[in-house]
Amino acid sequence: MTCNVLISAPYLQPYLDRFLPVLEKRGITPVVPQVRERLEENELLGLIGNIDGVVCGDDRFTRRVLESAKKLRVISKWGTGIDSIDQTACRELGIALCNTPNAFSEPVADSVFAYMLCFARRTPWMHEAMRKGVWEKIPGFALREATLGVIGVGNVGKAVIRRAVGFGMKILGNDVTEVDVDFISQHRVRMVTLSELLATADVISVNCDLNPTSHHLLSTEQFSAMKPNALVINTARGPIIDEPALVAALQNGKIGGVGLDVFEVEPLPPNSPLRSIHNALLAPHNANSSPEAWERVHINTLNNLFNELGLPEIAPGELP
């Protein structure tokens, strides 16, 4: 018996040739559409009708798509975040939904500190001035002089905090769920309300999940509550931040700068005002970049798929 599997995960597609013998051995016929960043609902509706399983990225698996997928048994997400998939509909329709928890905590935490150090040491701006022939010493600060506020003390938030301890930063944490008290004590984190964190932190790192309670968690009111020199770093999900409110805060000097790996609309539209704001550092949703982490997620994502389809996992030595 053969299975048709839609493989739309853009990070896996370039390496798919390596895995084709594994799929063929298990009777899987891959369906590989062209994907730039993600597939939208209308694109999935044209593909999903005869599909038994999916290996996806951040594709928009709405209820309408899932109800059209009469054969679908499993969605295996490449990575951790499953906010683009209607989880309630999956449960009601009996479609298994799998992911890889804690997939990219380390590279994402590194990315947070890349932004932080760029702002603290003013490196991008001095580099650009030097390229233009301008010898200008732009004042910066040492991280040990700053207070870090971490919104979402989960796997990524904890990885950010572990690094912050090494830099000697004061650390504030905020989470809607209880955080392990031993971790908080060991890393000298002071758990506070979101209001206190926003008013006190010099650097704010957004590391929470995207869900109905965190959509536009940071908007006009929250930016107004921050210090005028506060730096905001978002490596989680774009819609956690109200982007027009962020643009207004930056343009009006309400905050000191922003580092963004994620956006409300991806890819970032060519006419986005963020592109022309001098104190906005931007990246194309690439904070997960890590060969070691990617390899682990490739294998785990396929094994999740195989398990739900009743097929054997990848055996040691099976991959070239």
Catalytic residue IDs: 237, 266, 285
- Secondary structure of residue 198 in the 3-state scheme: helix
E strand or H helix at 203: strand 203-206
Residue type, 22: V
Crossing angle of the two packed helices 105-121 and 123-131, in degrees rounded to 10: 60
Q: What is the DSSP letter of 314?
A: P
Q: What is the largest CA-CA distance in the chain?
A: 69
Angle between helices 105-121 and 155-166 in degrees, nearest 10: 40
Q: Each residue of 295-306: b (16+ CB within 10 Å) or e?
A: eebbbbbbbbbb
Q: Could you tell me which of 237, 272, 233, 260 has the C-alpha nearest to residue 80? A: 237
DSSP code for 238 = G
Q: Hunting for tokens 């870090």 — which residue is that?
A: 148
Taking the C-alpha atoms of residue 303 and residue 269, their distance in angstroms, rounded to an integer, is 35
Give the closest residue to 245 by CA, choosing from 221, 213, 279: 221
Read off the tokens for 19. 């895995």
First to last CA, the chain: 25
